[in-house]
Chains A and B, each alone.
Chain A
């Protein structure tokens, strides 16, 4: 096991380094005009723009810039935002934004798991009856209707009917309700859909039929065998949800004016904020790799059939 963890850690580290270097170098291929807002481009001459870029170190050789970044990274300095929040330290930005997004992400993940699994159980319990149809209708609606339509409906009309705030206010707990619900809508559908599917699969397996024929109570078979085995494939995705928790949702954070990380990477790329992009990419790469790694470990821990090494 220890050897496996070491091997995966080294592989993960190499993956992160490769991803980071490729992104870092690609960013340096972007046109220099992209560092300036459109209105500034029109108002400034090229010599002034080049002077600015040189003073920001953006005209140095990419390898020199890479070395500078790595050196500062080991001193805990992630640099400063270039264009999105000029001169604001990136550590300050992330320290402000990640907790907000993570709080919403974690709340919606918990809500999604609780409601999603409950709905999945309801669908299996009442398979081909009203509960199943209700769940299927919900899943279809969430997947088929463009999300902007129902998100907008919730924000305008549900907030009006229940007297809830239309946007997020830090000091109003009720302003959390709608964004958290909106964030969890699709994960509720996801958990319900897959739990139903895996439980129906398990229900039809020979060992279940054998257990029932042997006279084990149906409730016990459901609880100890069907549900337990069906939940295992879902567990593997839990750690990878870490990325979603940190990355946030562009649409929902924008709709509810949540000052989180949702859309930060997109904005940074569009504004060619190299410093911000490279830090976010590094952060996402590490989180993804760790998430997948933890997922593998978790599934091995909960499923005795899975061995991570040949020796076991």
Chain B
């Protein structure tokens, strides 16, 4: 009875949220709909001609572990570093890469050698904003790679860069083999001294750095934006500090628009504009004040009291603010390249699921049985359709040289546009699977009854008969449990409770290490993000032997297409083959992407589209304008429409 009530409640909630979404159509529309482009641009000018503040107050929700941008993988650190350490290039407000610490750059024809000319006369500054003795030169970029290339420095999340920069892989593992005693006939100091000869990064002269890559990387500029491992370091300074390097703001140097002038661990961080910054004319905010606010409710309340200039607004809060004075200030979050998907376990201990999961009809039954919009409405009750996603790589993340979106390449475009909410089709696929895998009495052919050992997650008995027992494992987070209950309700409804028994296990603990990696699940929920402007970032990790193939499927056709893409002569062919590979994986339902990680809304005093459009990196405050009143949705729509017009013109002018 309790089970029934839980399912009923979940369904009612999802349906009611979807209903809320539909009611959004009756809300006041976009003010720019009936305006001419001239009117839109004039209205946008009115907003941009106001007076702006020079302090921006925001918050963080989890600790800043350390500022060492080579060894710390925590996402929170990235935002500070994005503002304090400049890379070679950066995106402008339209996302086009423009000079940053590099004044210019070139690459060879196959884009395996990239050469950057560094600005001259720049110096590193300390945590007081004072210039140090250290000049920023090409050698600092070489030394960044030298730092991560030595295993003793502890940069372990370096796979992409290590595999890409010529010779770095061998350098790293040679040192590691010496450290572990596997190599005894080489001296560590000799190998370290041979870095310049072994590794494909060199200072051609004091202000020219050259990267030689293992393979063609047309996406290299986006990798510079996204990866902290390609940032410069003053090596002598870092080596002198050893393990203390960047443990706090006083033990690091800065070359970005800001320096960290105050750091109270787990409490507050203050960024102050760097007076010696190469582009200081475009730094509009003098001080960025961060404070620790651990939960969304507090941040929302503090925003309403005017104590901070930005807050996220989750779906529940969005609905509660509809009839308040803040209703006009709720702005939609713009994009997320992270995709949520269901992993299917092809090598687990559950004999019933094992037999069925290797059947394409069964996988398609799962794929077509999900009402993705209902799941999306748990996170985005107003317009759930904007977070639906059928592909692995996100729409809007990767473009070819003609400006065509990667997800518009056929056959990925068809996958992207497919409506997978087809319960009748799901049932048909399930019946086809049963026809192939079961006898007339409902016994699963070749399946023995037994006990499934998914410990420490769970253990359960299977009888080798229909319904197929499916063990879904998620975390014990409240929102994930509701989502799991929704999966259960909709799959048992569409496929048939007489055919599947969807069991939910909410696990508290290290889900990847205890659930995913040792295959203690049948279905598992996770997310992955497009990290830079190339499908290889995700797809090469999803091949049969790929690190991200958590489900342990074997799809040689997919592997071959990925190989073909990597060997392609030009970027368009590369994207075409990758699109075919991704479509193959999705079409065969080897994993099931269903929504993006985009969630909720926000309220802010900052003017959108005034800072660099960092698609792969973190927010940069350089250029951001801060109003003295919270931005309204009408102002947001006006600025968005104006931005689109200006962007089309700017990109058109640039070819």
CB of A134 within 8 A of chain B?
A: no
Within 8 A of A (CB), among B435-475: none
The distance in angstroms between the C-alpha atoms of A209 and B307, with both chains bound, is 61
Verify B243–A80 contact, CB threshold 8 A.
Answer: yes
B247 near A33 (CB under 8 angstroms)? no
Contacts of A205 in B (CB 8 A): none
B294 nearest in chain A by CB position:
A254
Contact with A along B46-88 (1 / 0, CB 8 A): 0000000000000000010110100111100000000000000
| Residue interface bits B120-153, CB-to-A below 8 A is 1, else 0 | 0000000000000000000000000000000110
Residue B266 at the A interface, CB < 8 A? yes
A167 proximal to B (CB < 8 A): yes
The 10 closest A-B pairs by CB, nearest first: A33-B513, A259-B266, A259-B267, A52-B156, A257-B292, A38-B512, A51-B176, A88-B247, A41-B512, A40-B73
A-B CB contact pairs (8 Å), 16 listed = A31-B510, A37-B74, A40-B73, A40-B156, A41-B512, A42-B528, A42-B547, A52-B154, A55-B152, A85-B247, A85-B265, A92-B247, A156-B301, A166-B301, A257-B292, A259-B292
The minimal Cβ–Cβ distance linking B509 to chain A, given in whole angstroms, is 8
Task: Decide if A87 touches B154 in the complex (CB within 8 Å).
Answer: yes
How far does the Cβ of B445 sit from chain A's closest Cβ, in whole Å? 35
Q: Is the CB of B176 within 8 A of A257?
A: no
Chain B positions 349-367 with a Cβ under 8 Å from a chain A Cβ = none
In the complex, the answer to whether B265 meets A259 with C-beta atoms within 8 Å is: yes
Contact partner of B151 (CB less than 8 A), chosen from A33, A44, A52, A259, is: A52
Query: B180: CB under 8 A from chain A?
Result: yes
Per the bound structure, the CA–CA distance linking A33 and B547 in Å amounts to: 14
CB distance from A64 to the nearest CB of B (A): 16
- Contact check, A87 vs B71: say whether CB atoms are below 8 A apart: yes
B159 and A86 form a contact (CB under 8 A) = no
Other 19 A-B pairs with CB < 8 A, given A45-B547, A170-B264 = A31-B513, A33-B517, A42-B547, A42-B550, A43-B157, A51-B151, A51-B176, A52-B154, A55-B152, A85-B63, A85-B66, A86-B72, A87-B244, A88-B66, A166-B298, A254-B294, A257-B291, A259-B264, A259-B266
Q: How far is the CA of A42 from the CA of B542 in the complex (A)?
A: 11
Which A residues, 7 to 23, have Cβ-Cβ distances below 8 Å to chain B?
none
Q: Does B20 contact A (CB under 8 A)?
A: no
Instruction: Bits for A228-253, please: 1 = Cβ < 8 Å to B, else 0.
Output: 00000000000000000000000000
Q: Name the distance in Å between B348's Cβ and chain A's nearest Cβ.
A: 18
A39 and B73 contact, Cβ closer than 8 Å, known pairs A85-B63, A259-B265, A259-B292: yes
Q: Look across to chain A and name the residue whose beta carbon is closest to the beta carbon of B304.
A: A160
Most buried by B among A47, A49, A51, A80: A51
Interface residues of B in 245-269 (CB under 8 A from A): 247-248, 264-267
Is residue B504 contacting chain A, with contact meaning CB distance below 8 A?
no
* List of B residues within 8 angstroms of A52 by Cβ: 151, 154, 156
> What residues on A are CB-neighbors of B74 within 8 Å?
37
Docked Cα-Cα span, A34 to B226, in Å, equals: 26
Q: Which of B261-286 contact A (CB under 8 A)?
A: 264-267
How far in angstroms is the closest Cβ of chain A from B156?
Answer: 4
Task: Say whether B548 faces chain A, with CB atoms less than 8 Å apart.
Answer: yes
With a cutoff of 8 Å between Cβ atoms, the chain A residues found around residue B266 in the complex are 97, 257, 259
Residues in B with CB closer than 8 Å to A115 are none
Which residues of the other chain, A, contact B173 by a CB distance below 8 angstroms? 47
Cβ contact within 8 Å between B179 and A54:
yes
The reply to whether B65 and A84 form a contact with Cβ atoms under 8 Å apart is yes
CB distance from B280 to the nearest CB of A (A): 29
- In the bound assembly, the distance between CA atoms of A254 and B294 in angstroms comes to 6
Residues from chain B with a CB closer than 8 A to the CB of A155 are 298
A309 within 8 A of B: no
Instruction: Answer yes or no: A255 CB below 8 A from chain B CBs.
Output: yes
Which B residues lie within 8 Å of A49 (CB)? Answer: 156
A residues 151-182 in Cβ contact with B at 8 Å:
152, 155-156, 160, 166-167, 170
Chain B 175-190, CB within 8 Å of chain A: the 1/0 string? 0100110000000000
How far, in whole Å, are A43 and B160 apart by their CA atoms in the complex?
Answer: 9
Contact B293 A257, beta carbon cutoff 8 Å: yes
Whether A51 pairs with B547 at a CB distance below 8 angstroms is no
Contact between B512 and A86, CB atoms less than 8 A apart: no
Smallest Cβ distance from A50 to chain B, in angstroms?
A: 9
Q: Which residues of B contact A45 (CB under 8 A)?
A: 159, 547
Also in contact, A54 and B267, with CB within 8 A (given A31-B513, A156-B301): no
Contact status A41-B517, CB under 8 Å:
yes
Contact between chains at A87 and B73 (CB < 8 Å): no
Question: Does A204 belong to the interface (CB within 8 Å)?
Answer: no
Task: Indicate whether B511 reaches chain A with its CB closer than 8 angstroms.
Answer: yes
Encoded as 1 (CB less than 8 Å from any B CB) or 0, chain A from 205 to 224 comes to 00000000000000000000
> A36–B173 Cα gap in the complex (Å)?
20
- Specify which chain B residues have a CB less than 8 angstroms from the CB of A40 in the assembled complex: 73, 156-157
Chain A positions 71 through 93: 1 when the CB is less than 8 Å from some CB of chain B, otherwise 0: 00000000010001111110011
* Contact between chains at A167 and B510 (CB < 8 Å): no
- Chain A residues with CB under 8 A of B72: 86
Task: Establish whether residues B68 and A87, one from each chain, have CB atoms under 8 Å apart when the complex forms.
Answer: yes
**What is the chain B residue whose CB lies nearest that of A86?**
B66
Is A84 touching B63 in the complex (CB atoms < 8 A)?
yes
Q: Does A96 contact B (CB under 8 A)?
A: yes
The chain A residue sitting closest to B528, CB to CB, is A42
Q: Are the C-beta atoms of A31 and B514 separated by less than 8 Å? A: yes
Complex-state Cα separation, A85 to B74, whole angstroms: 10
Within A74-121, the residues touching B (CB, 8 Å) are 80, 84-89, 92-93, 96-97
In the complex, chain B residues whose CB is within 8 Å of the CB of A255:
294-295, 298
Does B41 make an interface contact (CB < 8 A)? no
The complex places the Cα of A174 from the Cα of B292 at a distance, in Å, of: 18
Which residue of A34, A84, A86, A152 contacts B513 across the interface (Cβ within 8 Å)? Answer: A34
Output the nearest chain A residue to B62 by Cβ-Cβ distance.
Answer: A267
Does B302 have its Cβ within 8 Å of any Cβ on chain A? yes
Residues in B whose Cβ lies below 8 Å from that of A259: 264-267, 292
Given contacts A43-B547, A52-B151, contact A257 B267 (CB under 8 A): yes
| Chain B residue at minimal CB-CB distance from A32 | B513
In contact, A167 and B291 (Cβ under 8 angstroms): yes
Complexed CA–CA distance, A262 and B512 (Å): 26
Instruction: Tell me, in angstroms, the Cα distance from A276 to B548 when the chains sit together.
Output: 31
Chain A residues positioned under 8 Å from B528 (CB to CB): 42
Q: How far is the CB of B291 from chain A (nearest CB, A)?
A: 7
Considering the chains assembled together, what is the distance between the CA atoms of A36 and B71 in angstroms? 12
B201 → A minimal CB distance (Å): 20
Q: Could you tell me if A33 and B510 are in contact, using CB atoms closer than 8 angstroms? A: yes
Closest partner residue, chain A, to B307 (CB atom) = A166
State the Cβ distance, A210 to closest chain B Cβ, in Å: 58
Q: Which residue of A lies closest to B177 (CB)?
A: A51
CB of A56 within 8 A of CB of B154, answer: yes
Q: Which of B65, B301, B302, B517 touches A86 (beta carbons < 8 Å)? A: B65
**Distance in Å from the Cβ of A88 to the closest Cβ of chain B?**
5
A212 vs B547: C-alpha distance in the bound complex, in angstroms? Answer: 83
Residues from chain B with Cβ under 8 Å of A166 in the complex: 298, 301-302, 305, 307
B507 CB to nearest A CB, Å: 13
Q: Which residues of A contact B292 (CB under 8 A)?
A: 167, 257, 259
B152's nearest neighbour on chain A, judged by CB, is A55
A257 contacts B264, CB within 8 Å? no
